[in-house]
């Protein structure tokens, strides 16, 4: 004959089965806690928490990615402007020594300016497009077609002073100053 370890009532067998009188396991094991979370509630909680984390990550990505892309484009613009200024400085030194600016295109400047007037002559802009050089008498211009890779005018010497709000715009340096560049790009020395 078997008895409940908690209340001593007569039971068919001693096991984890709850006693009909007291509700505790008849073998004396600690009673199961009542009112605890069910497995379904735990799974629902984990799924909801996961969805909240995914939503937060999406919001942060929606804010960060456009800012990162804008910063990357501005960095390319600044690098291009610095490279153009390097070429212009070498051209000015060449003109002071020789009395005129070299003729030709950006590829021809390599032989004229390196290594006497500059150690390194950049040929590509920040978007890996070839820079452009034009010379006409006492005037010269160096330009980048910008992100889109196409120049807005047929000659660099046709550009007039001014900024543009278009960040894809051409960047043009002519006769000692930037004449076309994106608004907000610090060009210094103007």
The string of pLDDT tens digits covering residues 79-106 is 999 999 999 999 999 999 999 999 999 9
Flag whether 35 is in a domain. Answer: no
Flag whether 50 is in a domain. Answer: no
8 exposed, middle or buried (CB, 10 Å; 0-12, 13-18, 19+)?
Answer: exposed
> How many structural domains comprise the chain?
1
Which tokens go with 136?
Answer: 């006409």
Cα distances from 83 to residues 24, 36, 76, 90, 173, in angstroms, run 83, 69, 10, 11, 11
Flag whether 58 is in a domain. Answer: no
Flag whether 119 is in a domain. Answer: yes
The string of pLDDT tens digits covering residues 131-169 is 999 999 999 999 999 999 999 899 999 998 878 777 778
Residue 121's domain comprises 74-182
Flag whether 43 is in a domain. Answer: no
pLDDT recorded at residue 5: 82
Flag whether 130 is in a domain. Answer: yes
Q: What's 160's domain CATH number?
A: 3.30.700
pLDDT recorded at residue 49: 97
| CA 184 remoteness from chain centre | 18
Per DSSP, the residues of the chain read -EE-TTT--EESS-SSSBPTTT-SBTT-PPPPPSSPPPHHHHHHHHHHHHHHHHHHHHHHHHHHHHHHHHHHHHHHHHHHHHHHHHHHHHHHHHHHHHSSPPPS-HHHHHHHHTTTT-S----B-TTSPBPEEEEETTEEEEEE-TTTT--SSS-GGG--S-EES-TT--EEEETTEEEEEETT------
CB-CB neighbours of 173 under 10 Å: 25
The string of pLDDT tens digits covering residues 27-58 is 777 766 666 678 888 899 999 999 999 999 99
The string of pLDDT tens digits covering residues 7-26 is 888 888 878 788 888 888 87
Question: What's the CA gap between 81 and 132, in Å, rounded?
Answer: 13
Flag whether 30 is in a domain. Answer: no
Flag whether 83 is in a domain. Answer: yes
Question: What's the CA gap between 91 and 173, in Å, rounded?
Answer: 12
Which tokens go with 31?
Answer: 């009673």
Residue 23, phi-psi category: left (phi > 0), alpha (psi -120 to 50), beta (remainder): left
């Amino acid at each position: 004959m078997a008895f409940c370890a908690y209340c001593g009532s007569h039971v068919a067998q001693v096991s984890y089965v709850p006693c009909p009188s007291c509700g505790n396991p008849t073998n004396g094991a600690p009673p199961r806690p009542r009112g605890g979370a069910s497995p379904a509630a735990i799974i629902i909680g984990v799924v909801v928490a996961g969805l909240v984390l995914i939503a937060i990550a999406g919001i942060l990505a929606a804010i960060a990615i456009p800012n990162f892309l804008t910063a990357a484009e501005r960095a390319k613009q600044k690098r291009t402007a610095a490279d153009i200024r390097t070429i212009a400085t070498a051209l000015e030194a060449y003109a002071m020594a020789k009395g005129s600016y070299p003729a030709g295109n950006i590829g021809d400047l390599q032989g004229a300016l390196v290594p006497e007037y500059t150690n390194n002559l950049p040929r590509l802009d920040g978007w890996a497009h070839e820079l452009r050089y034009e010379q006409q008498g006492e005037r010269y211009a160096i330009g980048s077609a910008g992100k889109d890779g196409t120049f807005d005018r047929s000659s660099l010497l046709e550009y007039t002073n001014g900024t543009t709000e278009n960040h894809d715009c051409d960047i043009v340096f002519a006769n000692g100053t930037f004449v076309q560049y994106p608004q907000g790009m610090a060009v210094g020395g103007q």
